[in-house]
Structure 1
Amino acid sequence: MDNSIGVGLIGTGYMGKCHALAWTGVKAVFGDRPRPRLVHLAEVDAGLAARRAEEFGFERSTVDWRVLVTDPDVEVVSITTPNAFHAEMAVAALEAGKHVWCEKPMAVTLADAERMTAAARASGKTAVLGYNYIQNPMIRQIGAILAEGTIGTVNHVRLEMDEDFMADPEAPFFWKNELAAGYGAIDDFGVHPLSLLQVLFGLPSRVFANLSKPYPDRPNREGGRRSVENWDVSSILFELGPEISGLMALSRTAWGRKGRIALQIFGSKGSIAYDQERLNELQLYVTSDKPSEQGFRTILSGPRHPPYDRFVPAAGHTLGFNDLKIIECHELLRAIAGEPARVIDFESGLQIEQAVHAMGQSHREQRWVEID
């Protein structure tokens, strides 16, 4: 019986293409769901919309995203637009009776995130956010190591996320430099480390944050210079309850760093180290080894780390960013079917946004802020 789900895609940039590849590949990789039907695509320019629809394999295109979300053939809407548009589009899609797959961050303001969550509750539809790094088999394996008590009682967690796409002080001002896009490094990509914390430990109970601007202004494409409105570097102390201290450091101006999420977890019987730039391996140190042989060992991802086996039959051949997006798409389909799924839904996403805004408040007030 063909009960394939009809897909609508709003936005066809980098993440839009990632979503299109995921919708296209999920059947071939997992094989346990009907092949999604790529129904409708929306872009701001008619020529670009038509071209992307043909490239991505969508049946039709539009310049009006509202037409897409009310299309009766569309059952789930992928939202991959700039941050400021997420709330309006997600709420409209949910009110139209569609499931939603919205890229992170959830929204620019906490009020918008709350509105999105309320719309998801009222609709009864599945609404999830694009936190694909939690799908990495190595992150799942870290969770298994922690659950087994291999490194004992965890006492400290350290997270860094660094990229260099804003490292050049003469790079032009663009929308991610606007206050309308959010606080900057925290909600642009700091939400990714928070998503890892959420699935491994839960979110911080309180935070102390300092935000900074390495470059106060940038060249404006129209001429002159424009003041940078948000913060490219963030340093946050946090606590995971009374037992675990933590540190998160974020930078969008870190020359040489391309997509780094460095995670270190320290316990009473060992440590775990992981770097997203080497997403197919983790480092494990355990005190149970002979003293003469103690040291970090490298564990390479392979078929023993599901769902790696769905992609490659041999260890060490590596998965990539788009593969994680296919896994996320499969988890979304499981959630829509009412099955257990590893997703960050709007309820959990709201908790991440609450942590982000607590960090912003902490910076403004220069004090520890409790998170409800």
Structure 2
Amino acid sequence: MNSKKRGVFLSYLRVGLIGYKFMGKAHTQAYKNTNFYFNPKEPFQLRAICGRNEENVKFAAHTYGWESYETDWEAVIERDDIDIIDIGTPSDTHKDIAISAANAGKHVLTEKPMALNVRDAKKMLKSVTDAGVQHMVSFTYRRVPAIRLAKRIIAEGRIGKVYHVRANYLQDWLADPQAPFAWRLDKNVAGSGAHGDLNAHIIDLTRYLVSEFDEVVGMSETFIKKRSIEAGSTNEEKTNDSASRDVTVDDATLFLARLDNGALGSFEATRYATGRKNNEYIEINGSLGSIVFNFERMNELQFLSKEDEPHLQGYRNILVTEPEYHEYMDAWWPPGHLIGYEHAFTHQASDLAQAITQQQPIYPNFEDGLRCQQVLEAVDNSIKSRTWEKVEKTNYLNL
């Protein structure tokens, strides 16, 4: 089945990717893997990749296998041979690129956090809704097969009424005081530090698996206030030729939450957890059982059921690799043959292709991005007020 756009039936989904570094590489591989492993009705075509540094983006285009490159994102959006705009740039650029893409009739996929603030997220949601295009936020952990199994277990009532969610996302790449300044430490570019970068993921997982957020109270800290500028940094990273830059984001943010379903939650994000490289952990306790997931063991899910006989009760470790029973796994390898970080991006791309060609809703979309942003901002407000803050529930349609 082909999708119809501007009166022309297409045989490919033609992608323009803005950004070519870490996420650019991950998204590129996802489009290629989707074509190879998932056999979409309309394969992805890598039309143009975009970046400001011509030498680097030209090299990326050649290395990754893109047909062409651009140095101006507006030029990518203006092209008639592109259907999807994929945004893998720093957070301060998401709003303008997404709105321009929607106005041009392009489908939009953006990295998280979706925006710098709730105000911008609402504008982005309005633009894609008014344009009638598909829109998606790259919360890829939703597409880890073990998380899909956790969703199924909870939906089937196997852990009963949920009482607790405890989640953390721990990294250590800034624990060294000598680590240099990077764009992720500039509030004007990144919006926030560990909070928007890491808490955004566990907020989204909680919304996906359990419930919306009702109210929050938080605290944060910036442990090292200045970072040295690394030799060879770009002009954008330098300020008045000084040898260091102020760190204007949080290094760690922790918060408590009450969820709409009555459950209590605790959340922690830090880039100073020495020894933790990418430790994303979520534990959900209910009246009939519990589940535990840690991304550093992403092919496994722990599940405890109180309905087991007392002498057999305990956490069982489920290896989530069975093609017949575990979502997405039929595209990959025989049972017990593990998948990795990049595969969740492929699952995301495959779902996006299906949504576009079959004109189906896709999640997480820009409304999910807005809901996450509202939680992030409520925590920020709580840190300023030093008290509990309600999470805003309105979107642009309710204003």
Instruction: Give the TM-score range, shorter chain.
Output: over 0.9
Provide Cα deviations, 1:292-346, integer angstroms capped at 9, x if missing partner. 222111000112211112111x222211111100100011112223454552111
Report the Cα distance in structure 2 between the residues aligned to 1:93 and 1:341, rounded to whole angstroms: 19
TM-score, normalization by structure 2: 0.90
Q: How far off its partner does 1:111 sit?
A: 1.8
What amino acid sits opposite 1:321 in the alignment? Y
Report the Cα distance in structure 2 between the residues aligned to 1:310 and 1:287, rounded to whole angstroms: 34
Gapped regions of structure 2 (runs ≥ 5): 3-9, 231-240, 394-399
What amino acid sits opposite 2:217 in the alignment? F
Cα distance, 1:220–1:52 mapped onto 2, change above 3 Å: closer
1:278 corresponds to: 297
The percent of aligned pairs where both chains have the same amino acid is 32
Give RMSD over aligned pairs.
Answer: 1.5
Report the Cα distance in structure 2 between the residues aligned to 1:341 and 1:88, rounded to whole angstroms: 23
Secondary structure of 2:220's match?
A: strand
Runs of 4+, deviation exceeding 6 Å: none
1:268 corresponds to: 287
1:305 corresponds to: 326
User: Does the 8 Å CA contact 1:136/1:324 hold for their aligned counterparts?
Assistant: yes
2:201 corresponds to: 192
- The reply to whether residue 203 of structure 1 matches residue 212 of structure 2 is yes
Residue in structure 1 matching 2:249, options 230, 251, 268: 230
2:382 corresponds to: 362
- The reply to whether residue 130 of structure 1 matches residue 138 of structure 2 is yes
Which 10-residue stretch deviates more, 332-341 or 110-119? 332-341
User: Does the 8 Å CA contact 2:211/2:260 hold for their aligned counterparts?
Assistant: no
Report the Cα distance in structure 2 between the residues aligned to 1:75 and 1:325, rounded to whole angstroms: 19
What amino acid sits opposite 2:328 in the alignment? P
Secondary structure of 1:337's match?
A: helix
What amino acid sits opposite 1:206 in the alignment? E
TM-score, normalization by structure 1: 0.96
User: Does the 8 Å CA contact 2:301/2:317 hold for their aligned counterparts?
Assistant: yes
Q: How far off its partner does 1:216 sit?
A: 2.2
Report the Cα distance in structure 2 between the residues aligned to 1:55 and 1:217, rounded to whole angstroms: 36
2:396 corresponds to: none
1:33 corresponds to: 41
1:253 corresponds to: 272
2:148 corresponds to: 140
User: Does the 8 Å CA contact 1:99/1:126 hold for their aligned counterparts?
Assistant: yes
Gapped regions of structure 1 (runs ≥ 5): none
Q: How far off its partner does 1:182 sit?
A: 1.5
User: Does the 8 Å CA contact 1:138/1:281 hold for their aligned counterparts?
Assistant: yes
User: Does the 8 Å CA contact 1:5/1:75 hold for their aligned counterparts?
Assistant: yes
1:112 corresponds to: 120
What amino acid sits opposite 2:25 in the alignment? K
Report the Cα distance in structure 2 between the residues aligned to 1:305 and 1:341, rounded to whole angstroms: 22
Provide Cα deviations, 1:167-199, integer angstroms capped at 9, x if missing partner. 111111111111111221111121111111121
Which 10-residue stretch deviates more, 285-294 or 102-111? 285-294
Report the Cα distance in structure 2 between the residues aligned to 1:247 and 1:370, rounded to whole angstroms: 16
Q: How far off its partner does 1:88 sit?
A: 1.0
Report the Cα distance in structure 1 between the residues aligned to 2:352 and 2:327, rounded to whole angstroms: 17
Secondary structure of 1:194's match?
A: helix
Provide Cα deviations, 1:102-146, integer angstroms capped at 9, x if missing partner. 111101122221111111111110111111100011111001111
What amino acid sits opposite 2:387 in the alignment? R
Report the Cα distance in structure 2 between the residues aligned to 1:275 and 1:224, rounded to whole angstroms: 39
Report the Cα distance in structure 1 between the residues aligned to 2:217 and 2:272, rounded to whole angstroms: 21
- The reply to whether residue 296 of structure 1 matches residue 315 of structure 2 is yes
Residue in structure 1 matching 2:262, options 233, 243, 249: 243
Provide Cα deviations, 1:214-262, integer angstroms capped at 9, x if missing partner. 2222223355333211111111100112520110011111111111111
- The reply to whether residue 99 of structure 1 matches residue 99 of structure 2 is no
Report the Cα distance in structure 2 between the residues aligned to 1:10 and 1:89, rounded to whole angstroms: 9
User: Does the 8 Å CA contact 2:252/2:272 hold for their aligned counterparts?
Assistant: yes
